[in-house]
Amino acid sequence: MAIVYGLKVNLSVAMVAMLNHTAIEHGSIYESITSLGNNTSSGENCGSSDNDAGAAPEGGPFVWSEPLQGTLLSCYFWGYIVSQIPGARVAENYSAKWVMFFSVAINVICTLLTPVMTNIHYVGLIILRVLEGIGGGATFPAMHCMIAAWAPPNERSVMSTIIYVGTAFGTAKSILTAGILAGKFGWESVFYVMGGASCLWMVLWVILVQDSPSKQPLISYEERTMINSQLGTTQTEEVTEKQPPVPWKKVMTSVPFWAILIAHVCSNWGWYMFLIEIPFYMKQVLKFNVSKNAVASALPYYPMFLFSIVLGKVLDTLKAKGYFSTTICRKTATSFATLIPGICLLSLCFIGCHRDAAVALMTLGIIGMGGMFSGFLSNHIDIAPNYAGTLVALTNTVATLPGIIVPLFVGFITKGNQNIGAWRVIFGVTIVLFTIEFIVFTLFGSGEEQSWNKTIAKHDAESAKHDESTPLKKNNGSSPVRSEIL
C-alpha cells in the first residue's frame, strides 16, 4: 500500500522540477507561488514569505498550462474509479494475491516508463497515469479480501491498521524522497529510483504470500489451525467453486453499508484536504518556504502511523477481553478520525498567523485521522467478510470523487482571494462533513455480520445435507469444503 500511494503522489512533487516556470505565461504556477499572499482584497494576511519564497524555482523542460497540469494530476482518478468493482470480483472469485500483484506491477512499470513517455509527449504521461489509476483502484478491494481470509476477528483492527497505514507512510516518504531526488539528480530520478526499488516487493510478494492460510506452506500447522478455526474455515483443500453472485439489492438496502459509504466519502474529503490542500494553506497563508513546507507536510504522517497501530491494538485487546464489541470498536476509532481533525480545523479558523500553533494543530488533525484505519475502513470485513472486496470497491469508488472535487473547490474559493478568510470557508465545509460522518456512523454503523453475508453458509449447509459425514459449520470462507481431519 505504501508503494501504490508513494507512486501515486510522486508526480505532485516531481512536477515542480519538471516545469519551465520562466517560460510559462502569465497566470502560471510560477506566478502563483511567487506572488502568493499579495492579494489582500479581503481577509487577513500573514506578512511576507520566508526568505526563499521569492526565488524562482529551477526550470524544467516542460511548458504546461495550469489546466493541463490539473489534468495530469487528476487523470489518475479516471482509471482509479473504473477498476475497483471489476478488481473486487476477480479477487473474490479467483485470487486476491494476483490481483494485488498485477495492480502494483502496473504502477511500477508505468512509473519506470514515465520519463521516456513524458519526453515524447504529455499524452504519454496521461496514458500512464490512467493505467496507474486502474492498478491503484484494485488494491483496496484485493487487500480487503486478503485481510478477510487471514485476520482473526480479535486481530482484525490492528492487522488492517498496519496494512492500510502504509498509505500514509508511503505518502510521507514519497513527498520527502521525491523532493530530495528531484533537487539533486533531476526529475527523471524520482521515477527511476522509486519504481526500481519497488521491484523488490514484487519478488517477495510472489514468494511469500498466498491467498489463504490453507494455501500457505511457510506457516506452522498450529498457526494455520488457529487462524482457520477462528475464521470458521478449517480446511486442507480448496474447491474451485465460485461464490454466489453478490446480493446487490440487500447490499444497497443495508443501513450499516450506507453508514460506511457516507463515512468513507466524508472522511476522504477531509483526507484529501489534509493531504493535498494543507500544503497550499501553509504556502498561501502562513508563508512557509518550499523546504519547510515539504517537511511540515510530510512529518505528521509518521506519528499518525504509530498512533493508528497503537489504537488498533488497544481496541483489539479490549474486544478480546470482552469490554468492547466490534461495533463499539469501529465507532470509537471513527470518532477519533472525525472529532480530532474537526476540532483542529475549527481552531485553525481562529489561530491567525501563529505558525507554530497552526502546524501543531494540523499535525494533531492528521494524527487523529489515523483512527479511520481501524474504524469504518475495516468495517466492510465485519458486516460481510465474503463480499468485503466488493463492498470496499463500492464505497471507495464513490469516495474517490472528493479527490477530484476538493482541488477544484479550493481553487474556486481561493482564486484571487488567497487569505485566511477564504480558508475559513474551506475549513468550515470540511468540519460540516466530519460532523455528518460522526453522526451517521455513530447512529447507524454496526460491526455485526449481516444476514445477507450468510448466503454462502446456507449454500454449504444445503450441500452438506446430502453427506452426513460433513459437519455443518459457520463458513466465512469462499467455498464449501470438508473439515480438516486431525
Q: Is 479 a member of any domain? A: no
| pLDDT level of residue 278 (50, 70, 90 thresholds) | confident
Percent of all residues in the chain with a pLDDT value above 70, rounded to a whole number:
81
At residue 486, does pLDDT exceed 50? no
443 CB-near residues (< 8 Å, 6+ apart) = 259
pTM of the full predicted structure? 0.79
- Which H helix or E strand runs over 15? helix 2-18
Residue 12: its pLDDT value, please?
Answer: 81
Structural domain of residue 141, as residue ranges? 2-233+245-464
Q: For 155-191, how does the pLDDT look when each residue is reduced to its tens digit (9 = 90+)? A: 888 899 899 989 888 888 888 888 888 888 989 999 9
| pLDDT level of residue 289 (50, 70, 90 thresholds) | low
At residue 251, does pLDDT exceed 70? yes
Residue 484: its pLDDT value, please?
Answer: 36
User: Number of structural domains, the chain?
Assistant: 1
146 CB-near residues (< 8 Å, 6+ apart) = 96, 97, 100, 209, 211
* 119 vs 419, residue with greater confidence: 119
Q: Is 258 a member of any domain? A: yes
Q: Is 240 a member of any domain? A: no
Q: For 122-159, how does the pLDDT look when each residue is reduced to its tens digit (9 = 90+)? A: 999 999 999 999 999 999 999 999 999 999 988 888 89
Q: Is 238 a member of any domain? A: no
Q: Is 482 a member of any domain? A: no
Q: Is 481 a member of any domain? A: no
In the predicted model, what is the mean pLDDT of the chain? 82
Q: Is 484 a member of any domain? A: no
| pLDDT level of residue 294 (50, 70, 90 thresholds) | low
Q: Is 473 a member of any domain? A: no
* Cα→Cα distances 102→18, 53, 108, 114, 155, Å: 28, 42, 10, 18, 27
Q: For 15-52, how does the pLDDT look when each residue is reduced to its tens digit (9 = 90+)? A: 878 888 666 644 444 344 333 334 444 455 565 555 44
Q: What is the DSSP letter of 277?
A: I
The CATH code of the domain that includes 296 is 1.20.1250.20
What is the Cα 410 distance to its own chain's centre? 21
Average pLDDT rounded to a whole number, residues 55-84: 79
Residue 397: its pLDDT value, please?
Answer: 92
Q: Largest Cα–Cα distance of the chain, in whole Å?
A: 81
Residue 403: its pLDDT value, please?
Answer: 81
State the residue for C-alpha cell 473486487: 88
Between 57-71, 262-276, 369-383, 420-434, the lowest mean confidence (pLDDT) is in 57-71
Q: For 343-373, how does the pLDDT look when each residue is reduced to its tens digit (9 = 90+)? A: 999 998 888 778 888 888 988 999 999 999 9
Residue 192: its pLDDT value, please?
Answer: 96
Residue 447: its pLDDT value, please?
Answer: 94
426 CB-near residues (< 8 Å, 6+ apart) = 273, 277, 409, 410, 413, 414
